[in-house]
Structure 1
Amino acid sequence: MDILMRYVFKHRASGNIETKVFLTSQLEARAAKKLSPCFDELQYELISRDLCFDKEKGVFVGDLINVTTWFGNYIASVKFGEYEQDGSGDEYEPSKCFGFYAEAVIKTITDEDGFEVVPDYLVQNSMLELESYKRLGNIYENPELLKTEEAH
């Protein structure tokens, strides 16, 4: 199975951010330095290597997404690993899960009527469970996205 990977590099001299996306088959077929000059460690620093969750939307681990639920919209960070999920609305103990998940950046957002937009049981949610989301960007190329969300 071919896995899509995103590499984020920082140019040491200029500080510019470079993003490169490769399939694992490409990485296995050629030496990394032949795929891109960004793999030259003297010129570039590797700051992130991320798995792809959704090829169609270009969503990778480390991206920020706008999640739409019937509670309202909120910003989440895409992550991969172990998390707890409770789809019961606190009726049962959360289940330990492993995989791609969205974690709310700000966990205490309320709508104009004072109701929670992100109830406790949706703070960490499987990406597969999300009905609607849109990629906003990643924190390396768009650090202002995180600052804007933290200001709320």
Structure 2
Amino acid sequence: MEIIKIRYTFRHKGSGNIEMKWYSIGQLEERAAAKLSPVFSDEYELISRDLFTGLKDKNGRMIYDRDIWDIGRRFQVEFEEDRCGYFPFANDGGCGCCADEVYQPYEGDIIGNIYENPNLLEAAEE
């Protein structure tokens, strides 16, 4: 069974810099969050908690919710409750997969995420 992992995304209140930290549930249960990293302080604003999907891209990189996935076309990875899984979504909110187009994680690359690289999805629309 794959370990449950969470990616935390923070914004520094003074500089606006984005910081990301990755933790397993075991690490979070082991000690208080404030002792894990300085980002768990009043100097930072929590932007998002993103779960590891349990999938890896063709290079073995872990895929998290809200990552940007490139399979020749760029998509944002999102969890869809109705279908109980993670799927690629186009920037317009439409599902990036259809019945005749089923993509596997190993077919593409994770090239960033919507917090550090929002321009990657914008560039894909042009």
TM-score per shorter chain, which class?
0.7 to 0.9
1:20-50 C-alpha deviation (Å, 9 max, x unpaired): 001110001110010011011x200010110
Q: Does residue 58 in structure 1 map to residue 44 in structure 2?
A: no
Contact 2:87 2:97 in 1 (8 A): no
Code of the residue aligned with 1:61 in structure 2: it is: D
Please report how far the alpha carbon of residue 81 of structure 1 lies from its aligned counterpart in structure 2 after TM superposition: 2.7
How far 1:4 sits from its partner (Å)?
1.1
Structure 1 runs of 4+ off > 6 angstroms? Answer: none
Residue by residue, what CA displacement relative to the aligned partner does 1:49-82 show, whole Å, maximum 9, x if unpaired?
1011235312210011012xxxxx2111111132
Counterpart in the other structure of 1:75: 74
Q: CA RMSD in A?
A: 2.6
CA offset at residue 120 of structure 1? 4.8
Q: Counterpart of 2:48 in structure 1: which amino acid?
A: S
Residue 134 of structure 1 pairs with residue 74 of structure 2: no
Change (3 A) 1:122 1:33: farther
Aligned residue pairs: how many?
Answer: 120
Structure (1 or 2) with the larger CA radius of gyration: 1
Q: Could you state the TM-score of these two structures normalised by the residue count of structure 1? A: 0.68
Runs (5+) with no aligned partner, structure 1: 68-72, 84-96, 109-117
| Whole-angstrom CA distance in 2 between matches of 1:119 and 1:17 | 30
In structure 2, stretches of 5+ residues that fail to align are: none
Higher strand share: 1
- TM-score, normalising length: structure 2: 0.81
Name the % identity: 40
